[in-house]
Structure 1
Amino acid sequence: MTAVPERVGRVVYEPASSRREVLLATPGLVAVLGGDCTPAVLSRVWAEMSSSSPSLEKVVESIPLLGHDGVASFAVAALEGGDAHPLLVSVVARGDSVVDLYSEDRPPRRFSSQGLQPWHLASFSRVVGIRFASGASIDPVADAPTVSGAELPLVFGAASASSVLWMLDDRHAVVDPGARGGSSGPPPGETARDDIEITLERAPGRRRARHGGPSEEANPPAPKPTRARPCRVRIGSQAPFELHVPVYIGRRPRGPRQTGGDQVMLIEVPSPTREVSASHLLIEQRGREVVVTDLKSTNGTAVTLPGSPRIKLSQGDSIVLPPYSRIEIGDGTVIEILPGAD
């Protein structure tokens, strides 16, 4: 089992009151199937995506193409590579599903089956955003990955969706409150699942890129720096504070040796039973992303993302958290990640 690439981004969707498309998401792997797929097919595809060693091929093979359960349209995208290998996005499309791919330094591209049977496969480099659509929901390709700000996140699970966007780099996203959709809540009957605990070790792994070849440029241009609004952090019932500098939290936290103008914040929390380690947790904002790192704590750290199961971090694990995520470090200490102040 290979490691999940560090930059798995985040998936957001507009919920649908009726099952137009079904979104399945795990770290590094996203599938959007036509709403006519049966529960048996969804169960089979999800079992493959959430297995300990999934692959793009196995997921596609788990989707029947003919017979009563045949799925006429679907799209599957997977991250491949990382570390010493170029990060690629491999995409499979069938039927009237389309995938719009946004890159750092080129116009957006629309990928579809182009009438090929049984489906069309291709790989792309330097992708910063992926939008999935099908049938009547297909709009012209937008100039940039656009969100209304009312979409819901999905890290690990399934949902009925009318629009799906996988953002690999939030710096390239455009927020337009007037964008199509903007439902403010989950579909009827769908509730957030926070009673299930998973570990990052159970999150699907990604294989090395099998399509080979270096990225299209040996030295791709560095993205232009953007000034991100600081998110906020709330510990227990205390007033939230803005995340301007890295924050170390624990019974008696100690940050790294400070040099030059480096600054950090040290926050002590009570721990009568010593469930919280001396230096337990690091929270820092990198661009628009909030990264939480367990500092090899004794009892570990648990995080709950909106609409997703509870995840148990192991010693030294890091994870990117969206706003309204919760962090538990022991002895009743709950930390919340909040959006930046207006």
Structure 2
Amino acid sequence: MSAAPGLAWSFRSGEWFGIFGPNATVVLPPTEKDRVARLWELVDDGAGFDETLDALISAGLRELPGFVLVSEQHAETRVVIRGAARVHLATRDEVVHVEGDEGTIWVERSVSGVARVRIEVTDETDNDHLDGVIDGGLVRLGSAEHPPALDEVSVPESRDHDGLTRGPQTAPVDLLGLPPGIESQPPPVTARPVARLLLPDGETVDVDRSILVGRAPEASRIVTEGEPRLVAVASPHQEVSSTHLEVRPGSGADHGCAVATDLGSTNGSVVVQPGLPPEDLRPGVTVQLVPGAVVDLGDGVSIEVIDA
């Protein structure tokens, strides 16, 4: 999946200026209003990474406290950050975090095979819902994400616990932080389960295929080669996301074991392996589970891994 910044982005409103063009995306702090019009004209005309960066620094960095520049060329996503900003780049194998630093000229990173890009310039607590989608133009924002984080609904302006504003969109959605395609090709149904899951109600589920766990899990949330098993769990306080966690048979170095992936859940997942301290699961990053491991989804929902 291409993460070309010139395509559509979802955004949360904030004070920073977001400038979106076909070949580059620029985010500037609210103090830089005078620069916005000139940069917007340049970016809208199709300027790429080098031309946009030259324009950003042409007047020197002394008076430019921060900025974000994201551009993709030849399947490589290039990021430059200065100041209080963060960019998260999700590939098939990892999530690369790039953070700005006011004490340096800038921080630069190039990453190949990026499936999802997220820009953050304010804390998530500043705004807990999506405000819209933009595929070119200028907007005030606190964060932005490509591909857009939209839900496949047609009910105008209602919200659920995941913090998403649901409008008349038809595009499929992944919650913020979920990189589509990460570990998206697990083995299909295995001949024998690699483990079993002990659910809060005492029932057990064989891990012989992809298992999606949540309040109301949906198979469309993740691509698999076999039909996934959907496991719904009770969440009285709506703390468990609709499609919260995937557990499946591992591949490669994890062959013969169960592995877990947090699917960009709102409140996260914590795994406790026998003899080890609790570990927060990073969205989209697969973790091997050993027998006796417990995955806590919140709201009193814990799933134990037991021998098959």
- Which category describes the TM-score, using the shorter chain as reference length? 0.3 to 0.5
Q: If the length of structure 1 is used for normalisation, what is the TM-score?
A: 0.41
Normalised TM-score (structure 2): 0.45
